[in-house]
Amino acid sequence: QAFPSTILSSAHRSTRSAMAGRTEHSPLLESGAPEDFDAGKSIAFISVLLTVPRLIGFGIAFAIYKFGATAKYDSQLKTFGKEDGYGWLYLAVYLFSVVVSFVNLFPMYYKGKVMKADAGNLRANMFIYTVDDGSNKHVVLEEEGGIGEYNRANRSLGHFVENVAGFLLLIPFAGKVFTIPTSVLIIILAVGRVAHQMGYASGGYGKHAPGFMLHLISLVSLEGLVLLSAIRLF
């Protein structure tokens, strides 16, 4: 799919000013001179995103187990034979989902070398192209009008595709033990994804945050249910 784009002169024009022919400071950082980049902060930020939500998710899962239909959940877990190693299988599913999150988060480390944190809709770009004509101009997605809305709607779709693999494994494994809670979490995910796409497309960068939070709550809670099942099966 060929995306409509805007051409930026390297570190001299913003997306909007490039369209109007004005010269302003670009939200893209100077190539080779990432003055705003802090490797330590980037690593710490990614680490927090990987760990803190999952601690919360495990807490939610434990609350579901402890204050929900505990006897029913234990009965479902007993259908698995501990000697058959299902604890390891559940643990592997959990780790796979974490890896899916990691490979989605890791590019953020390099993103800090390319664009500023306040670059707005420019941060929807998954790739930054360079025009091969010696002009050192960069090519990014159009962000204005209907074309910008279309691009951001597709970016939200891409975000869902990038993250769906973990859900596809988590849902049947969590659902086998925690049927109703898993169903509720899937509904939360569905509402979150719709809110994410509509907010991103119509409101721009930042308006997708509420939908993303619902997505994240669903994800880490499902992971928590699978991890809790793994622990109970050992």
pTM for this model (two decimals): 0.84
> How high is the mean pLDDT of the chain?
86
pLDDT tens per residue, range 139-186: 889 999 999 999 999 999 999 999 999 999 999 999 999 999 999 999
CA distance 16 to 8: 9
Q: Which of 146, 156, 164, 161 is nearest to 198 (CA)?
A: 156
Average pLDDT over residues 47-75: 97
Amino acid of residue 80? F
| Sign of torsion over alpha carbons 159, 160, 162, 163 | positive
pLDDT tens per residue, range 211-230: 999 999 999 999 999 999 99
Q: Which of 164, 64, 49 is nearest to 107 (CA)?
A: 49
> Residue 130 pairs with which residues in a beta bridge?
138
CA distance 170 to 76: 16
Q: Which of 105, 90, 73, 228 is nearest to 169 (CA)?
A: 90
Q: Which of 86, 87, 154, 168 is nearest to 126 (CA)?
A: 154
Say if residue 1's pLDDT is above 50: no
Average pLDDT over residues 53-78: 97
pLDDT tens per residue, range 94-120: 999 999 999 999 998 888 888 877 788
> Residue 155 pairs with which residues in a beta bridge?
none
Q: What is the pLDDT of residue 28?
A: 63
Rounded to whole angstroms, the maximal C-alpha distance in the chain is 70
Q: What is the pLDDT of residue 32?
A: 45
Q: What is the pLDDT of residue 36?
A: 66
pLDDT tens per residue, range 14-44: 334 333 333 344 566 655 445 567 888 889 9
Q: What is the pLDDT of residue 2?
A: 42
Say if residue 57's pLDDT is above 90: yes
The pLDDT confidence band at residue 85, using thresholds 50, 70 and 90, is very high
